[in-house]
Structure 1
């Protein structure tokens, strides 16, 4: 997906376990959706928030990583 969507809308966050940030910009707010890729074609959305500072809050990144781990564990348990 990184090659298909401009980086200003979709980028991998540094120092994370494969977490990406989707940027949604409105006239009043800057909304961020965190996600990860499952295989090559599926993007799993984990959490969203209104961004108030330049940096992505660490607690939001940790939440996305925790949800990713839960998703992958549940998927593994089902197989």
Structure 2
């Protein structure tokens, strides 16, 4: 199954995922981009790289050295994955504030897409 990965943009044109990727070192950014390519190319994505967090929010997971990178996302029309934003995971549990941010971005995306 071929999926399309889309970067969410705010109403004022900011792209949180691109800003996150630009903040990473070259090799860390390459690893995260490699995981994003898996989302597009693999029919079944291993849970090492992709996990459902809530009813509509998922996380893309990339590990580089001792750092855990996460990009939250959601599906549209079953084959389109919209990446909302990224962060460096610093604890066992994903912070609720990050999930809430992804939910708000999803709501905004769907409202503006109509």
Normalized against structure 1, the TM-score is what? Answer: 0.86
Aligned match of 1:67 = 105
**Aligned-residue offset at 1:17:** 4.1
* Equivalent of 1:34 in 55, 58, 72: 72
Q: Normalized per residue, which structure has more helix?
A: 2
Secondary structure at 1:46 match in 2: strand
* Alpha-carbon separation, structure 2, partners of 1:17 and 1:60: 15
1-side partners of 2:78 and 2:56: how far apart?
A: 13
Unpaired runs of 5+ in structure 2?
Answer: 1-38
Give 5+ residue unaligned stretches, structure 1. Answer: none
1:19 to 40, 47, 57: 57
Q: Give the Cα separation in 2 of the matches to 1:44 and 1:58.
A: 19
Counterpart contact for 1:31–1:48, Cα < 8 Å: yes
**Equivalent of 2:89 in 51, 54, 67:** 51
- Distance across 2 between alignment mates of 1:30 and 1:63: 19
Q: CA RMSD in A?
A: 1.3
